[in-house]
């Protein structure tokens, strides 16, 4: 550890030299690699946005399902598809 960081730790800790090395190590690790910190915060934001979109879609599907009309039950009553008669060879 260089002398400048030791002096800074001594000033911040009030002269307590027993904890100065630990505090200096914490200070050096917390301020290092700002690009990685930015990437981390961006990934957290994207994760929150993805969860928000998923929850919003599920809530919207439940809302639409609960607000059906009685006519929705019979919407496909007269429709016949070719799959009802088999495939044939």
pLDDT per position as a tens digit, 11-70: 666 555 555 566 656 655 556 689 999 999 999 999 999 999 999 999 999 988 888 787
Count of residues making up the chain: 89
- What would the pLDDT profile of 53-87 be if each residue is shown by its tens digit? 999 999 999 988 888 787 877 777 766 665 656 66
C-beta separation of 10 from 20 below 8 A: yes
pTM exceeds 0.85: no
């Amino acid at each position: 550890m260089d002398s400048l960081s030791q002096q800074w730790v001594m000033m911040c800790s009030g002269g307590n030299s027993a904890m100065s090395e630990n505090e200096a190590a914490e200070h050096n690790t917390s301020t290092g690699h700002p690009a990685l910190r930015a990437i981390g915060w961006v990934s957290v934001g994207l994760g929150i946005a993805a969860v928000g979109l998923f929850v919003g879609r599920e809530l919207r599907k439940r809302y639409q399902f609960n607000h059906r009309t009685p006519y929705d039950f019979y919407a496909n009553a007269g429709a016949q598809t070719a799959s009802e008669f088999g495939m044939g060879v």
